[in-house]
Amino acid sequence: MGIALTAYRQGEKRVNSAPFPFDDDPIRLHMPYRCPLCRLPLHPLSAGWGCQSGHRFDCAREGYVHLLPPNRKHSKAPGDEKGMVQARRRFLEAGHYQPLANHLKQQSAHLAPSRLLDIGCGEGYFTAALAEASPATESYGVDISKNAVQKAAKRYPKIRFCVASNHDLPFEDHAFDLIVRTYAPSSDAELARLVSPDGQLIIVTPGPHHLRELRERIYQQVNDHDETSSAPTGFMLIDSQRIEHHIAPSGAEALDLLTMTPFGWHASIELKNALANEAQVPLSTDFIIQRYQLQR
């Protein structure tokens, strides 16, 4: 089958007037991508994805697909920039958030979804933990940061990653048995659209004491994070757990923590220099993990 395709690559629009055949790869045929422009299903091509309307999206050499159209980016490079992504990878791979990763792995292993989605996946650390716990699961990660998705796709080639907006996710309706969202904002309507009728949603938010010691060194007045949250529209809460533990990153690791969070925008040069010279920086971590299902 051949169609004329409008191709999008690196923020530029170009037209390919020659017929471009759909690929019949049996694995890619069942991937639930949909066109972010016309909402029709995306079909695999030899070098990307295309829909019946003629929109084409190329796969990057790292293996991810860019499904954020240029006219919806709102900035030249939305999401985390390279320095933030690199700092996040270094900090997470040092194991400081391993208790949270272990909890998510347990949830994934218990639920054993046929297909899962990690929203706001970043460089893929938690996505990989979820996928490792359930090897038979078809795992997907999405983030608006091209820098983050590039690193994720290169490190974890068995996971399907894409660049897209969390508020307009390029997937077919009810495609996922498990959706995980760690800190990232998203649309309630999109969550309800994407989860399968019997699927579940896990949302991770900071607990009241999360990184309080660091926040006290940045802000004059520090308030505990609000541990109360309402269920996303259309969902009901079925389980809520809290994980607290203490960490003692090195000064360099604490600087990475600053860099990968919004705290870094408010930290003074004096604080950054002080942290760099500290052997250890004792901190409290506090996570709230809530599990939801669709209202019946």
Q: Above pLDDT 70, what percent of the chain?
A: 90
The mean per-residue pLDDT over the stretch 117-128 comes to: 98
Read off the pLDDT of residues 247-279 as tens digits, 9 standing for 90 and up: 999 999 999 999 998 888 899 999 999 999 999
Q: Which domains does the chain carry?
A: 2-59 (no CATH), 82-294 (3.40.50.150)
pTM: 0.90
**pLDDT of res. 4:** 38
Burial bucket for residue 43 (CB in 10 Å: 0-12, 13-18, 19+):
buried
Read off the pLDDT of residues 109-119 as tens digits, 9 standing for 90 and up: 999 999 999 99
